[in-house]
Amino acid sequence: MLAGTASALVAVAPANAQDQSPPEADAGIADATTGSAEAAPAVASEDGIVITARRRVEQLQDVPLAVSVVGGDQLERTGSINVSRLQQIQPSIQFFTTNPRNSAANIRGLGAPFGLTNDGIEQGVGIYIDQVYYSRIAVSTFDFLDVEQIEVLRGPQGTLYGKNTTAGAISITTRAPTFEPEARLELSIGNLDYVSAKGSISGPIIDDKLAVRLAASKSHRRGTIYNLFSDRWVNEQDNLGLRGQMLWRPTDTLNVTLSADYNRQNPECCAQIYVRTGTTQRPLNRQYAALASAFGYAPPSTNAFDRLTDLDTPLDAFQEIGGVALRAEWDIGPGTLTSVSAWRFWNWGPSNDRDFTGLPITTVSANPSKQDQYSQELRYAASGESLDYVFGLFAYHQKQHTTGAQEQGSAASRWLLNPGNVPPGSPGCATPTANACNPAVLNGLRSENDIRLKTTSLAAFGQLSWHVTDRLRLQPGLRVNYDKKDGSYVAVVTTGTGSTVLNNDQRGVLAPQSYDATFSDWNLSGDFTISYDVSEDVLAYATYAKSFKSGGINLAGLPLDAGNNPILSASTVKPEKVDHFEVGLKTQFLDRKATLNLAGFWTEIKDYQATVTNGQLGVLRGYLANADKVRVRGIEADFSVRPSRRLSLYASGAFTDHEYVKFVDAPCPPELAGGAAASAANPASPAGTPGGFSPANCDISGQWLPGISKWAASFGGEYNQPGTLLGRAGEAYVGVDASYRSRFSSNPSRSAYTDIEGYALANFRLGFRTDDGWNIFSWVRNAFDKKYYEVLATQSGSTGLVVGQPGDPRTYGVTVQARF
């Protein structure tokens, strides 16, 4: 049944298959995705693609794990310049972002709660670059720099990769220094004033003892949304990346690599613009249409794909990430001892318009943040005739400091406060003395926030692979982890006159809060895998994994009680507890010209950490809550074939069934929020009843999880033909890469107003590459100019305004690459 369903996935809703081995002995090393000999990753061997998913060097098809590999050259020619683009050739990845800090990378729909980032919670998809863990998801928005290959490990990886990999891991390997001189150059230009330049140079300093590698990239693209208020294009791209590595080989058995990197972004970004309105339970004269009418306001366009806005607060998304790492690999005894030491920093300097309009409602919304992290891993891995094993220790310490600010403007009183009992549809106030009619009540009201978090994590881990027979292997793994978190949140609120004495209306908009929270816990996680070689080219496996994600601290403000005081019991959330089952089949046929890999999985999470949308005005970013139980299950199929040197094809698909199994006290969706509190005497009104009664919470058991498409797919291929260009021998080629995902919810509690319809994207390329290292090609992304949304959200306060971020329009350009 699994094989039949997977075959249907390939035929009906294909997605990208990365598991590929060389189809012909004389065809060179196959690329990890398309089988192109030209695009061979350096970590391939004559027998197939080499990976390090189990912290030792192995052939991809020999590893009983759902893992996909994308070579660096495949990333370049498909335009997969960052994790957001990677999801278009990896259907099991979901990536959402409203700005670099508020980003989430999920695998199989799990990993990070959907919504604005809360500093007190961790990601569930670990991102590693050269074996160093990156705790800030913001790194995923930067351009990939000098990448050798990317391994996407699907399913819990807690034994070897730690507590932050309950959904999987993305392991990025950069190109290493070489003892043979080499250089790479790339220049791209395109519409929207796009310019990108990349380069690297590598070579020896002391014969075969010391080598260095330097790489740099710079890219810029004009924004895709025009701001009439500032007369500027916004949501632009502006990236700078620098990386240096030094490899020292004092002996044949010892490699020491020192690396440093610096990455900076400084775009005018990130705007979310008017999409639509939806009726809530708030009185009709306090919903968007009536409020806008009271100010004589209308958005520049009610069609988001006109790409117009009038946001009146400056936009900024400045960030810089960098660090230093020292990796030592010493062949000793039957295996290799590896030490990875690292320090990293992240600085974030944003400015946002959180009312999403051209009115002075919220005139300041910024949460600048700084982080330092230190990590040390020590492990030993060995392979033998009957036993393969790896064991090690890991230590991690992180410090975060965020100094946020929010300030209300002259339109805030009328927009946010109750004007009194007025006739339905009337934009006026009941009495001239109502606070809503007095701009001074909220004008200048300002919250200064000081948020701090310290995290310490320690772990010991080990995994053993026992070759019971030539075909049967048993693989148990275990990890013990200790976490300690100390957090504090202080919000000092002052009026426009500088007073700290607030009335109830002011406290309801920006509430003073001060609390400390501590979390500490021991956790045991592990996995057990049985694998069997059905034949030389067929591997079957079954896995059970018990994993967890560390508990969290709410560090974005707490929900308020009836007296507008913070509910301190909501200051922490419990750890997630994950039970995961998986079966898989990895096959090759047609003389290894074709690969078909199948995986079926069932994942259940108790105490799922959800970022929930809060209708209260005093909590700006939502807060964290535990859902009792969620379930994600599905089937994946990866297929690739290279029938000849001229043609390579790939297709794969993912079917994912997902739901809140039990979440009885969830926040309600927008259409049920904003009304007076329901009670026995006044039961909850039907959804979208203006002036109705709203339940305190909603039972969303059985509903969709946010951000997950039931169907996701990608497919494509490349055809080449030998020829000459300007006297240089080589081959002309044409390629296509397409992706599809079905409808998904863009709100933690599914709403009729925030479902995003499914869409398909197609990218094309046409070029010529020479035998001596030159490559020139034209490309077009979103070739059919599909109009789609990356994310939808609602304005706080239950006004019914729905805003969104339109996906990129059609882009096109030319790229020239050279290798020496």
How far CA 27 is from CA of 31, 328, 537, 646, 675, in Å, comes to 11, 35, 19, 10, 68
Average of per-residue pLDDT across 504-529: 90
CATH code, 500 = 2.40.170.20
Q: What per-residue confidence (pLDDT) applies to 6? A: 37
Tell me the DSSP string of 180-234.
S-EEEEEEEEETTTEEEEEEEEEEEEETTTEEEEEEEEEEEE--SEEETTTTEEE
**Per-residue pLDDT band at 114 (split at 50, 70, 90):** low
The owner of tokens 């992180």 is: 398
4-18, 516-530, 680-694, 766-780: which has the minimum mean pLDDT?
Answer: 4-18
Q: Are 418 and 437 in contact (CB under 8 A)?
A: no
Q: What per-residue confidence (pLDDT) applies to 428? A: 58
Tell me the DSSP string of 632-674.
EEEEEEEEEE-SSSSEEEEEEEEEEEEEEEE-TTBPPPGGG-S
Number of structural domains the chain divides into: 1
Q: What per-residue confidence (pLDDT) applies to 244? A: 98
Q: Indicate the DSSP class of residue 808.
A: P
**Above 60 in pLDDT, residue 390?**
yes
Most confident of 544-553, 617-626, 652-661: 652-661
pLDDT tens digits, residue range 696-726?
889 999 999 999 999 999 999 999 999 999 9
Distance, CA of 312 to CA of 304 (rounded, Å): 17
Residue 4: which residues within 8 A CB-CB, separation 6 or more? Answer: none
**Above 60 in pLDDT, residue 526?**
yes
Higher pLDDT, 40 or 502: 502
Q: What per-residue confidence (pLDDT) applies to 420? A: 65
Distance, CA of 221 to CA of 238 (rounded, Å): 7
For residue 393, the surrounding DSSP H or E stretch is: strand 387-408
Helices (H) and strands (E) counted in the chain, each on its own, are 7, 45
Q: What per-residue confidence (pLDDT) applies to 725? A: 92
**Above 90 in pLDDT, residue 593?**
yes
Q: What per-residue confidence (pLDDT) applies to 393? A: 97
**Above 90 in pLDDT, residue 72?**
no
Q: What per-residue confidence (pLDDT) applies to 666? A: 86
Would you say the C-alpha torsion 158, 162, 163, 164 has a positive or negative sign?
A: negative
Mean pLDDT rounded to a whole number for the chain: 88
Closest CA to 341 of 259, 263, 398: 259
pLDDT tens digits, residue range 619-644?
444 567 788 999 999 999 999 999 99
CA triplet 788, 789, 791: central angle to 5 degrees?
165
Written as one letter, the residue type at 717 is: G
On the question of a cis peptide bond just before residue 698, with omega within 30 degrees of 0, the verdict is no
Q: What per-residue confidence (pLDDT) applies to 21? A: 35
**Above 50 in pLDDT, residue 45?**
no
**Per-residue pLDDT band at 15 (split at 50, 70, 90):** very low
Residue 531: which residues within 8 A CB-CB, separation 6 or more? Answer: 64, 472, 473, 475, 539, 540, 541, 542
**Per-residue pLDDT band at 38 (split at 50, 70, 90):** very low
**Per-residue pLDDT band at 196 (split at 50, 70, 90):** very high
Average of per-residue pLDDT across 342-360: 95
**Above 80 in pLDDT, residue 566?**
no
Distance, CA of 350 to CA of 367 (rounded, Å): 6
Q: What per-residue confidence (pLDDT) applies to 20? A: 35
Q: What per-residue confidence (pLDDT) applies to 246? A: 98
pTM score, whole prediction: 0.89
Token representation of residue 80: 């997969």
Higher pLDDT, 24 or 156: 156
Domain assignment of residue 209, yes or no:
yes
Distance, CA of 805 to CA of 224 (rounded, Å): 10
How far CA 598 is from CA of 10, 17, 508, in Å, comes to 10, 10, 53
Torsion of CA 542, 544, 548, 549, to 10 degrees: 10
Residue 151: which residues within 8 A CB-CB, separation 6 or more? Answer: 51, 52, 53, 67, 68, 69, 169, 170, 171, 173
Instruction: Give bridge partners of residue 218 from the DSSP assignment.
Output: 197, 240
Domain assignment of residue 59, yes or no:
yes
**Per-residue pLDDT band at 34 (split at 50, 70, 90):** very low
Higher pLDDT, 163 or 308: 308
Distance, CA of 577 to CA of 597 (rounded, Å): 28
**Above 90 in pLDDT, residue 135?**
no
Domain assignment of residue 521, yes or no:
yes
Domain assignment of residue 111, yes or no:
yes
Token representation of residue 90: 């990896």
Distance, CA of 657 to CA of 708 (rounded, Å): 9
Q: What per-residue confidence (pLDDT) applies to 199? A: 97
Distance, CA of 296 to CA of 299 (rounded, Å): 10
Average of per-residue pLDDT across 366-382: 95
Domain assignment of residue 431, yes or no:
no
Domain assignment of residue 437, yes or no:
no
**Above 50 in pLDDT, residue 124?**
yes
Domain assignment of residue 303, yes or no:
yes
**Above 60 in pLDDT, residue 594?**
yes
Instruction: Give bridge partners of residue 475 from the DSSP assignment.
Output: 529
Domain assignment of residue 433, yes or no:
no
Residue 613: which residues within 8 A CB-CB, separation 6 or more? Answer: 115, 622, 667, 670, 747, 748, 749, 794
Q: What per-residue confidence (pLDDT) applies to 8? A: 35
Q: What per-residue confidence (pLDDT) applies to 422? A: 53
Strands 147-154 and 67-71, how do they pair? Answer: antiparallel
**Above 80 in pLDDT, residue 515?**
yes
Burial class (CB in 10 A: 0-12, 13-18, 19+), 208: exposed
**Per-residue pLDDT band at 564 (split at 50, 70, 90):** low
Tell me the DSSP string of 401-466.
EEEEEEEE-TTHHHHHS---S--TT--S-SSTTSGGG-GGGTTT-EEEEEEEEEEEEEEEEEEEEE
Token representation of residue 603: 């994942």
Q: What per-residue confidence (pLDDT) applies to 307? A: 98
Average of per-residue pLDDT across 737-749: 94
**Per-residue pLDDT band at 48 (split at 50, 70, 90):** low
Written as one letter, the residue type at 757 is: E
**Above 70 in pLDDT, residue 584?**
yes
Token representation of residue 535: 């034949």
Domain coverage including residue 63: 2-314+332-359+369-408+444-819
**Per-residue pLDDT band at 23 (split at 50, 70, 90):** very low
Residue 681: which residues within 8 A CB-CB, separation 6 or more? Answer: none
**Above 90 in pLDDT, residue 112?**
no
pLDDT tens digits, residue range 295-336?
999 999 999 999 999 999 999 999 999 999 999 999 999 999
Q: What per-residue confidence (pLDDT) applies to 722? A: 96
The three-state secondary structure class of 707 is coil
Q: Are 397 and 455 in contact (CB under 8 A)?
A: yes
Distance, CA of 95 to CA of 14 (rounded, Å): 19
